[in-house]
């Protein structure tokens, strides 16, 4: 084989090598695109899974709230209505016999009606907190704290009372705080309760401080796994839906802090 033939072969080989290099780049681009598509599909799956989780959490929250209202109606208003009915039947019998209903009896009946009105108001308030929608979250919380007459309550707020958040944020925070207060009253049995609201550049914190039996983060996590109907799951789901963080600190006093970004939902 002559040198000239060798050169021709070298030229062909050189061209082939160049073609191969170009092919290598094309193969890389194709593989990269395929990988990008796979990643996109994985990402979409994660997003869908997350959406499903949020949806499930919303359904769970709705179910637990329905249970709660059903329990409120059954446990609070039901017995009062029964008592009222019993009283009226008794009075009817007295009147039939030509007797007279005393002032005390009527007062007792009135007290029962007052209780019913109060309970209905409470349930209605829980179903649709109009006060929050009309006047905002902070005045609504302050108003709610004033209603807790069986405790020594303190309300402390460093931010403007007319500060408004997004509709979802206000409703969710309101329900979370109410649920937490109810839990504290029911399980921690405190004599003092303080709600303080503090805002800085990054965050706004809703801190509940009480002198009852507190809960730590670990205990809260354990309760979440085992507790039934306490409403902790709905609190967790609501907090997650507004990207808020819950922190439980056990001590004297104990605290529960709900922290969310200041710009959240504005």
Partner 1 sequence: MLERVSLFSPLLPLSLLIIISKSASGFVWRALFVFLGVSFVCDYTAKVVGLEGINNMPVFHVYNVLVGAIICYYYYRVLQLQKMKVIIRWLFLFFLFVSLFEFFYRQGYLTFNTFAAWTINVLTIFFTLLWFYQVFFSEEQMKLTKLPEFWVNVGFFFYFGSTMVLTLFSEMILYAGGNDELTMKLWPIQLVTNILFNLIILRAVWALKRA
Nearer to partner 1, 4 or 162 (CB): 4
- CA dist 211 and 194 (Å) reads 9
Stretch that binds partner 1, among 13-21, 111-119, 121-129, 220-228 (CB under 8 A): 13-21
Shortest reach from residue 162's CB to partner 1, in Å? 44
If one asks whether residue 42 binds partner 1 (CB under 8 A), the answer comes out as: no
Nearer to partner 1, 13 or 221 (CB): 13
Which among 149, 118, 115, 143 has a CA at the least distance from the CA of 129? 143
198 beta partners: 205
Nearer to partner 1, 9 or 221 (CB): 9
If one asks whether residue 22 binds partner 1 (CB under 8 A), the answer comes out as: yes
Which among 163, 116, 121 has a CA at the least distance from the CA of 142? 163
If one asks whether residue 44 binds partner 1 (CB under 8 A), the answer comes out as: no
Nearer to partner 1, 8 or 88 (CB): 8
If one asks whether residue 24 binds partner 1 (CB under 8 A), the answer comes out as: yes
Helix 78-96 and helix 103-127: axis angle, to 10°?
150
Nearer to partner 1, 29 or 245 (CB): 29
Stretch that binds partner 1, among 9-17, 104-112, 121-129, 192-200 (CB under 8 A): 9-17
3-state secondary structure of 16: helix
Shortest reach from residue 42's CB to partner 1, in Å? 11
If one asks whether residue 21 binds partner 1 (CB under 8 A), the answer comes out as: yes
Contact 237/58 with Cβ under 8 angstroms?
yes
Strands 192-199 and 203-210, bridge-based pairing? antiparallel
Q: How crowded is residue 193: how many other Cβ atoms within 10 Å of its Cβ? A: 22
If one asks whether residue 127 binds partner 1 (CB under 8 A), the answer comes out as: no
Q: Following DSSP, what letter does each residue of 152-184 receive, concatenated?
A: EEEEEE-S-TT----HHHHHHHHHHHHHHHHHI
If one asks whether residue 7 binds partner 1 (CB under 8 A), the answer comes out as: yes
C-alpha angle 217/223/227, rounded to 5°? 160
Stretch that binds partner 1, among 35-43, 70-78, 164-172, 178-186 (CB under 8 A): 35-43
Nearer to partner 1, 23 or 106 (CB): 23
- CA dist 18 and 223 (Å) reads 67
Half-sphere exposure of 208 toward its Cβ, with a 13 Å CA cutoff? 27
Q: How crowded is residue 245: how many other Cβ atoms within 10 Å of its Cβ? A: 13
If one asks whether residue 218 binds partner 1 (CB under 8 A), the answer comes out as: no
Shortest reach from residue 8's CB to partner 1, in Å? 9
Nearer to partner 1, 26 or 221 (CB): 26
- Residue ranges that bind partner 1, judged by CB under 8 A: 3-4, 6-7, 10-11, 13-15, 17-18, 21-22, 24-25, 28-29, 31-33, 35-36, 39-40
């Amino acid at each position: 084989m002559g040198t000239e033939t060798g050169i021709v072969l070298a030229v062909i080989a050189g061209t082939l090598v160049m073609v191969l290099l170009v092919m290598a780049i094309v193969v890389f681009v194709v593989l990269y695109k395929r990988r990008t598509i796979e990643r996109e599909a994985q990402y979409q799956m994660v997003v869908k899974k997350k959406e499903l989780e949020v949806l499930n959490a919303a359904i769970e929250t709705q179910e637990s709230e329905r249970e709660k209202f059903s329990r409120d109606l059954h446990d609070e208003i039901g017995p009062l209505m029964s008592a009222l009915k019993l009283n009226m039947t008794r009075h009817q019998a007295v009147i039939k016999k030509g007797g007279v209903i005393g002032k005390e009896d009527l007062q007792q009946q009135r007290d029962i009606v007052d209780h019913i009105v109060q309970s209905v108001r409470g349930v209605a308030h829980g179903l649709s907190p109009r006060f929050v929608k009309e006047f905002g979250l902070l005045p609504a919380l302050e108003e709610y704290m004033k209603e807790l007459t069986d405790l020594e309550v303190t309300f402390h707020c460093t931010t403007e009372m007319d500060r408004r958040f997004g509709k979802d944020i206000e409703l969710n925070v309101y329900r979370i705080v109410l649920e937490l207060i109810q839990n504290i009253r029911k399980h921690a049995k405190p004599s003092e309760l303080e709600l303080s609201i503090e805002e800085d550049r990054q965050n706004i914190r809703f801190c509940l401080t009480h002198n009852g039996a507190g809960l730590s983060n670990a205990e809260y996590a354990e309760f979440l796994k085992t507790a039934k109907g306490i409403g902790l799951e709905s609190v967790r789901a609501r907090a997650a839906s507004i990207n808020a963080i819950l922190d439980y600190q056990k001590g004297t006093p104990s605290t529960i802090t709900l922290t969310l970004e200041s710009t959240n939902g504005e």
